[in-house]
Chain A
Amino acid sequence: MIQPDSSCAVTVNGISVRVPPGASVAAALVAAGTLCTRRSVTGQMRFAFCGIGQCQECRVSIDGQPHRLACRTSCKEGMHIVTGGEG
């Protein structure tokens, strides 16, 4: 069970945020005020759209691994999330 008073710390582009354990990476991005997951081929900013892993717009780099889906990945203590890549 998620303990409401517990939280985990992740970084989003170097900014540290605390989110409840089990929160999605997409939620952590919102908490960090980062509304761009990736850049399209033509440089447009993209963000989580469908929220269920289908649209692939929310790809971010997590702990150095590119193309991880922010909406389908749960935050874990110490995760480093990087957004805005040409993913």
Chain B
Amino acid sequence: MIVVGAGIVGAACAVELQSRGRQVLLVDRLYPGAGVTAAGMGHLVALDETEDELDLCLLSLKHWDAYLRDKGGLAEHSRCGTLWVAEDEDQMAHAAARAEKLARKGWQASQLTGAQVAAAEPSLRGGLAGGVLVSADGVVYPPAVARDLAMQLLAMGGRTMFGAAVRAIGDRCIELDSGQRIDTGDVVLAAGNGVPQLLPDMPVFPRKGHLAITDRYPGRLSHQVVSMGYGQTAAGSDALAVAANVQPRPTGQWLIGSCRQDGIENTDPDPRVLAAVLRSAIALLPCLAEMRILRSWTGMRPATPDGRPIIGRHPARAGTWLAAGHEGLGVTTAFGTAQLLADLMSGRPPALATDLYSPSRFIHDPA
């Protein structure tokens, strides 16, 4: 069988399927982690916008714990935790609800007062209402993980083909740009924003984000600091949505996001958007204004109209499966996605309800 797309989601699926006895060929137009996987922040985070989102995150985070037990250095892992910062009483109410919800699911989260937030992260501006500290969250460098997973696949007897763009998916076969046709059993499409080109009925679309990284300033930031305003804009909204999100890298650098923009095709950094991202981060962490930015770039999160990933069997095409559309959570949820997909492909009852993720929700049944 073939997995198309060696981003973190495709690479995780390939390893999971190979470990269950399938013979996997992992194909990518570039190399592992070269696309969206390399553009993101690499935040391992329990997001709780919906109950099912939280369940998928927690399922995956357990796999991450197992993976990182002996790969922490390779993945540039740091368990810095997420400090969700509430600027006013309204956000504080949301923070309290988040702390309660995560703690109930066994993912340690403590509610902090304004004074506790200031003590936890002295670089934050004064006068914050409080926040939530999710201490088990962490950060990784995702392309290194995608590469490692591709190596694992090879070590397990799987195969890879990189630098090979897929131009069509046929009936239990794929066709490369080179004209080569490869016959196979199942095809798993994990090509992110490349999905609609191969399967036009799958509405994955790019949601643009801007990021910047500073020089090294060790010791100034201990937690990933995220505004409670993060993720509050409804899926499908065209407007620019900005929420401060600042991450300490193990090198002492600060990785700064984040924003969302729909309907923009070019990947060039836009100085006005980048300025808005930096302003929102400086508003929380004033010392950032004095720091040096080394580089800025953009990424195109593969989003779906209902904000949920697409995981499962294509209802109208034999042997075609999907694992795509994870938007900003592909890194966090890669391993859980791989587990659910492999369960579905082997006919086992999946660990979580998967109807919500089924590709068939986007296809009008002709019958």
Contact = CB atoms under 8 A, between A and B. Distances in A.
What's the interface size class on A, roughly? under 10
Contacts of B218: 85-86
Interface of A: 41, 66-67, 85-87
Contacts of B216: 41, 86-87
Interface string B200-238: 000000000000000111100000000000000000000
12 contacts: A41-B216, A41-B251, A66-B215, A66-B217, A67-B215, A67-B292, A85-B218, A86-B216, A86-B218, A86-B252, A87-B215, A87-B216
A86 B218 CA distance: 7
Contacts of B251: 41
A63 to B, nearest CB: 13
Nearest to B290: A65
Contacts of A67: 215, 292
Contacts of A85: 218
Interface in B254-300: 292
Given A85-B218, A86-B252, A87-B216, 9 more contacts: A41-B216, A41-B251, A66-B215, A66-B217, A67-B215, A67-B292, A86-B216, A86-B218, A87-B215
Interface of B: 215-218, 251-252, 292
Contacts, number: 12
B165 to A, nearest CB: 34
Could you say which of B216, B217, B251 has the most chain A C-beta atoms within 10 Å of its C-beta? B216
Instruction: Sort A-B residue pairs by CB-CB distance and give the 9 closest, nearest first.
Output: A86-B218, A41-B251, A67-B215, A86-B252, A67-B292, A86-B216, A87-B216, A66-B217, A87-B215
A41 B251 CA distance: 6
Contacts of B217: 66
A86 B216 CA distance: 7
A44 to B, nearest CB: 13
Contacts of A86: 216, 218, 252
A41 B215 CA distance: 12
A86 B215 CA distance: 10
B290 to A, nearest CB: 8
Contacts of A41: 216, 251
Nearest to A87: B216
B220 to A, nearest CB: 10
B358 to A, nearest CB: 44
A85 B252 CA distance: 11
A67 B215 CA distance: 8
A36 B296 CA distance: 29
B248 to A, nearest CB: 13
Contacts of B252: 86
A85 B218 CA distance: 9
A41 B216 CA distance: 9
Contacts of B215: 66-67, 87
B73 to A, nearest CB: 12
